[in-house]
Chain A
Amino acid sequence: MSKLLIEGVSRTFAGVRGGQPVKALMPVDLAVAANDFITILGPSGCGKSTLLRIVAGLEAPSEGRVLLDGKAVTRPGPDRGMVFQSYTLFPWLTVAENIAFGLRERGMAQKERDGIVASYVDLVGLKGFENHWPKQLSGGMQQRTAIARALANDPEILLLDEPFGALDNQTRGLMQELLLGIWERRKKTVLFVTHDIEEAIFMASRVIVMTARPGRIKSDVAIDLPHPRHYTLKTSPEFSGLKARLTEDIRVEAMRTTQVQPAEA
């Protein structure tokens, strides 16, 4: 049985000031197996973030439904951990308190929390920064804390919405390896949205390519590169082959958006 089932999910936004309603997402069907790492790749504005937010329960689909372990998603919940592109650490809490947030909301005792928090601080390499405020951290460290905060809750599935989009290239590469390393060791079902082709291939066991708006699934590419993956993989011939193929797929879509937009303006 699939861990996550997306059945005919679409999203239409009401028209602004009596205008035409905007179709952001055409009906999407997707089945995600347990412990799969899926990246959703698409040009900007293709509705990939909308799809992720619907899975998270932060937005309702116009049609269709999302099932997690056979149960319909109706609202956000701790079984679907999320990491956002914007820095969403709670600025009034320290790193350790941020990571403990979900556990505290669940009513877990302080003592039990401390042990879990310590292990996740370790996992994302933030030892020594437990008592720092988010403002004192770099962007990469903030996102590492955000990943730890989502994972500490032990969600059924981890949703990431371009989590490294705001980071510089070097940091992004390191973060990719960190997250992939965690996944390789701890196995988790992951849905990862990105517009970066290399990132999509490097992280995934399966890449879902989406079309330009209104988004639908264009292709579904299995990535059979061996694990554990090392950054040098990005220069291997197999990787280049995949990259060439996906680049072509995405390029066609990106061109469609840039051609459509001037006509609208």
Chain B
Amino acid sequence: MRPLHPVSPGLRTVLGISFFVLFIAFWAWITLGGHVNRIFLADPLSMLRDGWRLLVEDRFWLDILITIWRVFGGFVLASVVAVPIGIAMGAWKPVEAFLEPFVSFARYLPASAFIPLLILWAGIGELEKLLVIFVGSVFQIILIVAVKVGSTRRDLVEAAYTLGSTNNGIVRRVIMPANAPEIAETLRLVLGWAWTYVIVAELIGSSSGIGYMIINSQSRLATGQIIFGIIVIGLIGLLSDFAFKAFNRWLFPWSLA
């Protein structure tokens, strides 16, 4: 095979789907073929049956909705705080010098380790779930946005100055629009991570949500339900990623033109 040679769209689709087929076939073979104990791993068919029962009888769709709300709530909260701070850090070097060391340190604090503290502070209600996602996302967004903004093309800034821009005008009408698509891409990336935090938050001290259903199913050895829950998370993540991408494309046609 020639390195870096592009693949045709048709073949790309076929190859992409065939991995899923192989994967499920392997799963079916080891479970239905009796190669692993059913207690540890459900087969694909009982997974689907369990999933259907969850949705219809146990109103699992309510858990799905509540998890989605938590992810987006925490994520929006983090974005609203982090994006302006990131822009300020990237644009004004004293602000960066002031905040960067702390944010770099805070970025490595694992959000999941905060859960016991957050439960103490905010209880086990919705606020605590949102805060876990907030803590997990906010420092990441700040840092990435600051780096992107800091690497704004200097020649564009200089051009704007020679056209009469003030310092304020540079930030608002050069730095911000120039980096908007990259910032949106950053948010899309971090939204993916927020899905991880929400499940962790729901595994501990929760009575609703996809994570709660998963931990609940573990005690009943309902591996079919657990796998169904994981697949649902994957599908929603994929969907929101697609939607986010499409939204960015619609918002910033100039960056793709």
A: which residues have CB within 8 A of B? 56-58, 75-78, 80-82, 84, 86, 88, 90-93, 101-102, 104-106, 133-136, 146, 149-150, 153, 159
Residues from chain B with a CB closer than 8 A to the CB of A86 are 155
Contact A91 B254 (CB under 8 A): yes
Query: How far does the alpha carbon of A92 sit from the alpha carbon of B257 in the complex, in Å?
Result: 10
**Interface segment out of the listed B74-82, B163-171, B194-202:** B163-171
Closest to A53 in B: B158
Q: Is B53 an interface residue (CB 8 A)?
A: no
Answer whether residue B118 sits at the interface, using C-beta atoms and an 8 A cutoff: no
B254 lies within 8 A of A78 (CB): no
What are 23 A-B contacts with C-beta separation under 8 Å?
A57-B162, A58-B158, A58-B161, A75-B161, A77-B164, A84-B155, A88-B156, A88-B158, A88-B159, A90-B174, A91-B178, A92-B177, A92-B255, A93-B177, A93-B254, A101-B160, A104-B173, A105-B160, A105-B165, A105-B169, A136-B257, A153-B163, A159-B162
Q: A90-B156, A149-B163 are in contact. Are A133 and B257 (CB under 8 A)?
A: yes
For B160, list chain A residues within 8 Å (CB): 90, 101, 105
Q: Which 8 A-B pairs have the closest CB atoms?
A: A78-B164, A102-B163, A76-B161, A82-B162, A88-B159, A133-B257, A133-B254, A92-B177
How far, in Å, is B203 (CB) from chain A's closest CB? 43
Which B residue's beta carbon lies closest to that of A149? B163
Chain A residues with Cβ below 8 Å from B153 are 88
Q: Does B52 contact A (CB under 8 A)?
A: no
Instruction: State which residues 177-192 of B face A: CB under 8 Å.
Output: 177-178, 180
Give chain B nearest CB distance to A94 CB in angstroms.
8
Q: Is B61 an interface residue (CB 8 A)?
A: no
Please state if A76 and B162 are interface contacts (CB–CB under 8 Å).
yes
By size class, the interface of chain B is 20 to 34
Chain B nearest CB from A33 CB (Å) reads 22
Tell me which residues across on chain A come within 8 A of B166, comparing CB atoms.
105
Write the chain B residue with the least CB distance to A87: B155
* B253 interface residue per 8 A CB criterion: yes
* Min CB gap A87→B, angstroms: 9
Given contacts A88-B156, A90-B156, A92-B180, contact A153 B164 (CB under 8 A): yes
Within B1-57, the residues touching A (CB, 8 Å) are none
Interface centre among A77, A90, A135 (most CB of B within 10 A): A90
Q: Does B252 contact A (CB under 8 A)?
A: yes
CB distance from A224 to the nearest CB of B (A): 31
CA A80 to CA B158, docked complex, whole Å: 12
Residue contact A78 to B257, C-beta cutoff 8 Å: no
Q: Which of A77, A80, A82, A104 contacts B159 (CB 8 A)?
A: A82
In the complex, which of the residues B153, B166, B180 has the most CB atoms of chain A within 10 Å of its own CB atom?
B153
CB distance from A252 to the nearest CB of B (A): 32
Q: Bound complex: CA of A75 vs CA of B166, how far in Å? A: 11
Additional 8 contacts, C-beta under 8 A, given A92-B255, A93-B254: A76-B162, A78-B164, A82-B162, A92-B177, A92-B252, A92-B254, A101-B160, A102-B164
